[in-house]
Amino acid sequence: MRNAARLIGLVVWALLTPLTWADNRSLTIIHTNDLHGHMQQTTEFAGAARIAALVDQTRRQQPGVLVLDAGDSISGTPVSTLFKGLPIFAILNRVGYNAGALGNHEFDHGSHQIALFRETAGYPLLSANARTADGVLLADNANLVMQVNGIKIAIIGLITAKTPELITPVGNANLAFESPEAVLRAQVEALDPLVDLVLVLSHVGHEEEQRLAAVIDNIDVIIGGHSHTTVTPPVKVNNTYVVQAGFYGAYVGYLQLAVDTETRKLVSFNGKLIPAEDLPPPDPVVADLVATWEQAVEKIVDVGINSVDRDYSRTELQPIIEAILARYTGADFGFYNSGGIRDRIRRGSITIRNIWNIEPFGNSVVTVTARGSDIRTMLSMEGEQHWRLLALDDDKTYRVATNSFVAAQASKNAPRLFKVEDSQQLVRDVLVDYIETYGLRIDQPSR
């Protein structure tokens, strides 16, 4: 009888006491960044079809899944370059993304092309701080608020304020890129009271992303891009987790969260990077779509032009490219920005595709003629360490071979200081012609 009375008392207490148990909901986030058009599976990179397989597998196993990309989806492969980025967004649409951020390379074909990207992608492209001079957002939205597995989530897009220094002026006039910190602070203050979870899709770089986490409260996760940083394990700054998944799909980010929707608090977090080789077998539908686009370019680019008996890193390629351009133009010397070299050469056959992957932007070979002091300014703008020891006479005039992007950036603010002559020949075509004849030897006489 005593036990029965005790049980009845417990039942009455339970019925009369307000429920205080946490309503924890799970959320899985799959994230990528800086894919740069690498939709095809290789030994190093996952390819879109294997990412799609991971997405499908996770959605079948988990009640709440978000798939996000932190920008620079395009520019880096022939399929992206020849068709101005559109196939990439068509493929990523089939992968199943929920949202993506605008990166600086989404401006490679002019800001007008972003409207076509937005139309092609079946998911919103976000950026809170990229606008026209009239204040119109260049992205679909500044943010996206959605509910997943009972969790109300705000996703805010962000791009680096340095974007004007990183994009071609052609087709990108009269754009404004506001301070990421100021814009993000305002976004978080407005959205945090309305949601359970605040996520940032950031294309500003890992160091800056950590700084933003340190100075702005109430951000739960920053999913980063731009700096191509392999962040493992995730970094926690104050109460914010900062993640990034390298580049080109060598890794895919995988986050598992639990959120208490009563207190609107993140109660658990686990994050990892999945190497490309550990992803599931390719999704056949996405693989077929990738193959269809690749067939459109393979006759142009899958052509052998020479071979090498070892790998050449991007750093090793830089002086070789500079020497080839100087030889082609008869300039005093060549200069090539390291950020414009997007791939390395691997041991074995060199194909035209390899050269397109190294220079995917369609820049032309130009010469810049200016005084030594102004040439030094041009070199320092690009921050290239290997030119610091170059002895230039400030008052002597030099003719430098470079690419059209570097020349445009140098002369943008001081056009009278630089005489720019465009050869009207693409850098990649000049490289293909030279390498087909001489390989990577640079001891050949100028033309």
The whole-angstrom separation of Cα 89 and Cα 142 is 19
Angle between helices 404-412 and 372-382 (to 10 degrees): 110
Beta strands in 261-372 (DSSP E): 265-275, 304-308, 333-334, 348-351, 364-371
Backbone phi, then psi, for 150, in 5-degree steps?
80, 5
**pLDDT value, residue 12:** 44
**pLDDT value, residue 3:** 54
The whole-angstrom separation of Cα 400 and Cα 418 is 11
Mean pLDDT by runs of 10 across the 447 residues of the chain is 50 44 87 98 97 98 97 97 97 98 97 97 97 96 98 98 93 96 98 98 98 98 98 97 98 98 96 98 98 96 97 95 96 93 96 96 95 86 63 92 92 86 96 96 66
The whole-angstrom separation of Cα 34 and Cα 51 is 14
CB 31 within 8 Å of CB 255: yes
Mark out the alpha helices in 330-403 (DSSP H runs). 352-358, 372-382
**pLDDT value, residue 127:** 98
Residue type, 211: R
**pLDDT value, residue 19:** 43
**pLDDT value, residue 10:** 45
Mark out the alpha helices in 74-228 (DSSP H runs). 78-82, 86-95, 112-120, 163-166, 180-191, 206-215
What domains, with CATH codes, occur in the chain? 24-295 (3.60.21.10), 302-438 (3.90.780.10)
In which residue are the tokens 């992608």 written? 121
Residue type, 142: A
